[in-house]
Amino acid sequence: MNNTNAPLALRADAPAVFGSRDEIKAIADRIAVMLPSARLTDTQLGKENRNVLERKLNESVYRAAQLCVFYRLVPGEDVHVIPFGDSWAVDMGIETWKKAADRYCSLHGVTYHIHTEEMTERELIERRGADYDPADTGVVAYLWRSDKKDVYEIFGAKSSMSRATGIWAKKAKYNKWEKTWQEDNTPAQRTKQDVAKRRAMKAVLKLEFSLDSLLAATPAEVRQSIQFLERDIRHEEEYRAVPNTRRTEVDENGLIVVEPTPRPTVHDVEFVVAEDDMPEPDADEIVIEQSQGDATNGGVDYAALAKKLSGTAASFASWAKSTHLKSNGPASVDQYRFLVGILNGITGDKQCYRDLLGVMVGRYVNSEDRPGMLMASKLLEWLRADYVDEVTGEKIANPQYRADYADAIRDMWQMIKGAA
């Protein structure tokens, strides 16, 4: 029986598909830091009902975080928290709906096209009524889909295509206290026509497509998943087969005559550092990350430290930051702790992990503000020299281990200490 009055800590967690509490909280914390719109203004902080406003804001921030986790969206880019007086709305921009439409079309072999036209003055007057102003601008958007071509030909394209409108209004919101009208916002480097057009395009995309398309895997992703699964199975079969290739043989006195061939360890293999394996981060991604969190810790400027790296250490740090920025959410607490232990083991210094991760991420890192999941997963995959077989209980060399990457970590730590 579900006891809704039970303390929060005793209630069952939400299904994993919606994201764990830790995942949602981590994204909510990041939204609160990243988005100025997700904070109380100075005026609101001074109001008597501040607690009520904070509760409303938290509800909207967590709703946005839930959407980010569930649909794998980026806060501030795909999902927005928009203030309206003393309340906040959660909205997904046109780029999010384009992603959903593009993914659906990729899955089903469909193409689409959006045609826009400016609304006439008569159409604007009919739509706006008494609130019409000559400065108003409106756009009509029609969406054509290749899988509905027959319907368009039979019933006529314009009459059959989905149609939506978008308007930029001079009299968008009435302030009853000041008895004045406020016009729609116009973002920098955009015109009111741009605003109306984007609203119309977003509205027509919502009519034709669903965000659920974001949850479906494209054919390329399915193939990649199959390849990863086959690789894991192959490695597992190879390493479990090794103990059975030769058995220990003894003579009549119990002396060993033949021993099993020892498994090769990664230290017996010579690695060649391939800097091409470490892609350079995109410039726009760096700008996004530098606007998040604290770039320093106790006077340590991680961006400046990163510039002092050279050789494979610099290449590895650039790759790590690029991968961190592409991560879909932060690493789990267990991943973070495991990674900290591995970094400390590689360098032999229990205090190295904070500055190493700070340089690789570009900002201060701790257990509350962890590095990206993709970056952490890759580092754990490559820097773990061996693991324990769950069946036999013995240590097995990790076939994914990269000794050259471990060397790059050691070099990085020496350069960081030298620059400190």
For the cut 60, the answer to whether the pLDDT of residue 65 exceeds it is: yes
Residue from 172, 100, 99 nearest 137 by CA: 172
**pLDDT computed for residue 119 by the predictor:** 93
For residue 141, the cross-strand partners are: 116, 164
Task: For 19-62, write each residue's pLDDT tens digit.
Answer: 677 888 888 888 888 888 888 887 888 888 888 888 989 899 99
Rounded to a whole number of angstroms, the CA Rg of the chain reads 28
- pLDDT class of 123 with cuts at 50, 70, 90: very high
Higher pLDDT, 84 or 408: 408
**pLDDT computed for residue 389 by the predictor:** 64
What is the C-alpha to C-alpha distance for residues 320 and 362, in angstroms, rounded to an integer? 10
For the cut 90, the answer to whether the pLDDT of residue 10 exceeds it is: no
Task: Report the SS3 class of residue 183.
Answer: coil
**pLDDT computed for residue 113 by the predictor:** 93
**pLDDT computed for residue 67 by the predictor:** 87
What is the C-alpha to C-alpha distance for residues 136 and 380, in angstroms, rounded to an integer? 56
**pLDDT computed for residue 262 by the predictor:** 44
What is the C-alpha to C-alpha distance for residues 353 and 344, in angstroms, rounded to an integer? 6
Contact 49, 72 (CB under 8 A): no
Task: For 335-366, write each residue's pLDDT tens digit.
Answer: 888 888 889 889 888 888 888 998 898 888 88
What is the C-alpha to C-alpha distance for residues 299 and 150, in angstroms, rounded to an integer? 66
* Amino acid letter, 306: A
For residue 305, report the phi and psi dihedrals to the nearest 5 degrees: -65, -40
For the cut 70, the answer to whether the pLDDT of residue 297 exceeds it is: no
What is the C-alpha to C-alpha distance for residues 415 and 360, in angstroms, rounded to an integer? 13
Q: pTM for the full model?
A: 0.48
In the chain, DSSP finds a helix count (H) and a strand count (E) of: 16, 13
Structure tokens at 392: 């036999």
Contact 370, 376 (CB under 8 A): yes
Structure tokens at 340: 């900290």
Name the percent of the chain lying above pLDDT 90: 14
